[in-house]
Amino acid sequence: MPDIAAMARGAGEPQRVSVVIAAYNVGPYVAETVKCALGQTMPTARSSSSTTGRTDDTAERLEPYLSQIRLVRQEHAGLAAARNHALRLAAANYIALLDADDIWTPTKLAGPGRDRGSPPALRDDRLRRL
């Protein structure tokens, strides 16, 4: 697999987004959430799912996606700690936070009114430039 950080920040490469999904006991929902992140029309560097002290089958439900996502496990320390840990690992120019029980339309990251060369969906307060 190529170095995603180099691709995302390299000259002439398209803008990419790292999607961060913090997960705690969301087994029934998390696979659909990951699928919608991977199915974005805007290229994503890699989706990161951070599981914290789970007591359900969340990690097992993510196994089919391990070639496309980074799964990070840590002790339960709350949503903010899980997101912050995953954010430190983000490799793209932009990050987007996705709740583990939500889904996006395929064009969510492309954003309405995106013109040539402009950053995606900057009006969305959950998308930040790194």
pLDDT one-digit tens code per residue, 67-122: 988 888 888 888 888 888 888 888 787 888 999 999 999 988 886 544 444 454 44
pLDDT at 102: 93
Q: How many domains does the chain have?
A: 1
pTM score, whole prediction: 0.70
CATH number of the domain to which 105 belongs: 3.90.550.10
For the segment 38-67, what is each residue's pLDDT rounded down to a tens digit? 998 887 666 666 655 668 888 899 899 989
Neighbours of 129 (CB within 10 A): 10
Collapsed DSSP state (helix, strand, coil) of residue 62: helix
From residue 91, how far is each of 17, 56, 76, 85 by CA, in Å? 8, 28, 24, 13
Token duo for residue 28: 């029934």
Whether 58 and 26 have beta carbons less than 8 Å apart is answered as yes
Segments forming the whole domain that contains residue 31: 4-129
Supply the pLDDT for residue 95: 86
Q: Which residues of 14-33 are buried (b: 16+ CB within 10 A; e: fewer)?
A: ebbbbbbbbbbbbbebbbeb
Supply 92's token pair: 């793209």
Using only the alpha carbons of the chain, give its radius of gyration.
Answer: 14
